[in-house]
A and B are shown apart, each in its own frame.
Chain A
Amino acid sequence: MASRRIINYKLIVLANISIIWVVFAFLFLYNIILIDKNDVTGRSLIIFSLAFATIGFVVSAILIFYLRNAFRFFPLWISVLLKMSLTFFLFVLIAFVMLSMYYVFAEKGTFESFLGTFYRDVFLTKAFMIFMFDLAIMTLLTIIVLEVIDKYGPGGFWGMMRGKYNKPRIENRIFIFLDINNATTIAEKLGHTKYFRLLRDFFAEITIPLLANGGEIYQYVGDEVVLSWKNTPLNKQRCFKFLRQSFFLLKRREEKFMKRYGVCPTFKAGIHSGEVTAGVIGIIKKDLVYSGDTLNTAARIRSKCHELEESFVVSGDFLTEFSTPFAYKVNEIGEMEFKGKAEKEKLFSIIFE
């Protein structure tokens, strides 16, 4: 079951891929028309493009919504082969239905003669074979594009294409360092492989509130995940909302986790905001990197959670110019030295009411 936000995100991906299909459709169509002049020229270009767009839409929709995680535990090459054969059957079916519809509306003979003409004039023509072949290439491309988009994360691919971070730029951002409680104990109890699965499920669960609140996954550091927002009052509220929703979502999933792993993960988080330098680093392995003391401080705030026995600790910097929403209670719980600042900074805890 996916939330609205995740569906929206997937729809955007779907639209983008459909556009690629249509662009390629024109290219391929040109080839087909050239090859099979007698067979195709009679039919209009628009219908063909439309057919391609429809098939592309259906195939990539199925890939995105249903098949994406279907073969998650197989190596990619096997899952690509499986997905390709599945979609191949699917689009043979769709092509058959669409073409027969075309014949139903345009043909006036009997059904047998239709089948005969169908095989002779459409199914066994070179144009149709090439069409199928092109579709297979497109499907392969779609699967690869989906995999690559996942690697970059939402907005990451376009950020790369747009060259947003080609020159390092200073940004004011919110960071959440989020960590499973008692990770070492759980890992010892479950064994490392099972613990890794738990971690994976945990991160999958919090993806939903994260997307709903417009957050970005910056990176995974060991068992920790670093989330980030642009620093605006609205995003501060979203940040709070994210914590609340994740907290209660995990509570709702308690049964599932208990059944599968025998423990239900809870998490702690340190929140801080400030300036960082953002840019792309690396020659053979490129990555978007945020650099600056803000991150080190956020990591240290997260490690304070354990010490102060609080689940969520937020810095004074984050709370400036921010009025806490009703459903949250913020209490001062201590002080901490920040790198590069003479005075100690205050720390606060968050409690959901």
Chain B
Amino acid sequence: MISKKVFLYRLYIVFTIVVIWVLFSLVLLYNIVEVDKEVLESRRLSFFSLAFAIIGTIVVGAEAFFLKDAFRKIPIWLSTILRMTLTFLLFLLVSVILLLAYYIFSYNGGLSFIEFEKNFVQKVILTPSFLMGMIDLGMLSFISILVLEISDKYGPGGLRNLIRGRYHKPRKENRIFLFLDINDSTTIAEKIGHEKYFNMLHDFFADITEPILANWGHIYQYVGDEVVICWKNSYKNKRRCLKFINDSVKAIKRKENYYMKEYGVVPSFKAGVHAGDVTAGYIGVIKKELVFSGDTLNTTARIRSKCHELKHSFILSIDFLHDFEVPETYSVNEIGEMEFKGRKEKSRVYSLELN
């Protein structure tokens, strides 16, 4: 089962890949037209592009929504082969149907099966252009599988930022950071075993994916059992950040039964929220990564670690609350002071309660 926001995000990727398909189809079509002049000359280019777009949408859609998760547990090379065969069969079917439809509408021969066989099988299926089309489609679906896998590695917007060169020169950004951590992770890990604990972590991160996407958050990185989520610093995003916490708590609550049944515990989490300037840019030669650097991050991590000490689940810094009116559904109370690096005076921290 996949939630609405994840679905929309996947849909967006599917369409991006379909655009690649259509571009390739124009290139490949040129080849095919050259090869099989007598067969194709009379037909229109737009028809073929359309066919390619339809086949592409179906194939990539099937990949992104069904096949990708179906073979999650087996190695990718194996699942690629399996998926390729499956999609191959699928687009064989689709293209036969499409071509059949085309033939039915423009067909004006006799109605006997033999004559049809002669026309359709001989003139379409067994031509070199059709074979080449199949090979090209195979190539394209292979590329699609890789692109799907790679876009997951970069995360939403990651590839776009890379191509646009948003961070090719380091730049200063004002961002909200949220460090999120499962409560009592060591105890849980010891109780249910490390492998099972890891699976629980996986499920937990999967469940908060929907609130992250719904509130336009950006997963910066996973640090051990912790996940760091960030937003650009704006009034709207501050509200989204609080709403994300609220949504996540609810999302985990909804799946309480599942966690109890599967792991015997229901994970709860703590979070530290802070906002400030960071420098963003790419770092690394053999492993390139977008990195946010600055004291803001260290401070956020320290705020998160205060959660345990002050016995509050969610702690916000004064910097985050600056210029911000907390919506009525939340209550915010001052709970203490903390030293921030590079500041002489202590800064106040606040707890967040969800009403």
Contacts and interface: CB of A to CB of B under 8 A. Distances in A.
Interface of A: 6, 9, 27, 30-31, 34-35, 72-79, 126, 130, 133, 137, 147-148, 150-154, 156, 160-164, 166-170, 184, 187-188, 192-193, 195-197, 199-200, 203-204, 207, 211, 217, 219-223, 275, 277, 279, 281-287, 289-293, 295-296, 339-340
A168 B286 CA distance: 25
B281 interface: yes
B298 interface: yes
B31 A35 contact: yes
A77 B164 contact: yes
Interface string B160-183: 001111101111100000000000
Interface stretch (B54-62, B70-78, B259-267): B70-78
A175 B277 CA distance: 30
B279 A188 contact: no
A284 B209 contact: yes
Contacts of B279: 192-193, 195-196
Interface stretch (B194-202, B234-242, B248-256): B194-202
A220 B209 CA distance: 22
Contacts of A74: 165, 168
A351 to B, nearest CB: 28
Nearest to B301: A222
A283 B31 contact: no
A279 B202 contact: yes
B139 interface: yes
Contact of A287 (B150, B198, B221): B221
B186 A203 contact: no
Contact of A207 (B152, B170, B286, B293): B286
A76 B162 contact: yes
Given A77-B164, A295-B224, A287 B205 contact: no
11 contacts: A31-B132, A72-B168, A75-B163, A148-B150, A166-B72, A168-B198, A193-B170, A203-B284, A220-B289, A339-B186, A340-B190
B294 interface: yes
A94 B17 CA distance: 33
B73 A166 contact: yes
A150 B287 contact: yes
A164 B74 CA distance: 9
Contacts of B337: none
Interface in B271-302: 277, 279, 281-289, 291-295, 297-298
B4 interface: no
B222 A222 contact: no
B162 A147 contact: yes
Interface string B214-245: 00000101111100000000000000000000
Interface in B130-179: 132, 135, 139, 149-150, 152-156, 158, 162-166, 168-172
A163 B172 contact: no
B141 to A, nearest CB: 14
B21 to A, nearest CB: 14
Given A187-B294, A283-B6, A285-B219, 13 more contacts: A151-B150, A151-B287, A162-B76, A207-B284, A217-B286, A277-B195, A279-B202, A281-B198, A283-B209, A284-B156, A284-B213, A285-B152, A292-B189
Contacts of B212: 284
A92 B160 CA distance: 31
B107 interface: no
Contacts of A188: 342
Nearest to A145: B146
Contact of A9 (B35, B186, B286): B286
Contact of A196 (B163, B222, B293): B293
Q: Which 7 A-B pairs have the closest CB atoms?
A: A75-B165, A163-B75, A285-B155, A153-B287, A168-B198, A196-B170, A150-B288
Contacts of B222: 281-282, 287, 289
B201 A281 contact: yes
Nearest to B77: A161
Given A76-B163, A289-B224, A284 B219 contact: yes
Residue among B6, B72, B189, B286 with the highest chain A CB neighbour number at 10 A? B286
Contacts of B194: 168, 170, 275, 277, 291-292
Contacts of A296: 224
A3 to B, nearest CB: 12
B115 interface: no
Residue among A27, A75, A156 with the highest chain B CB neighbour number at 10 A? A75
Contacts of B286: 6, 9, 150, 153-154, 207, 211, 217
B206 interface: yes
B341 interface: yes
A169 B199 CA distance: 11
A213 to B, nearest CB: 13
B198 A27 contact: no
Interface string B26-46: 010001001100000000000
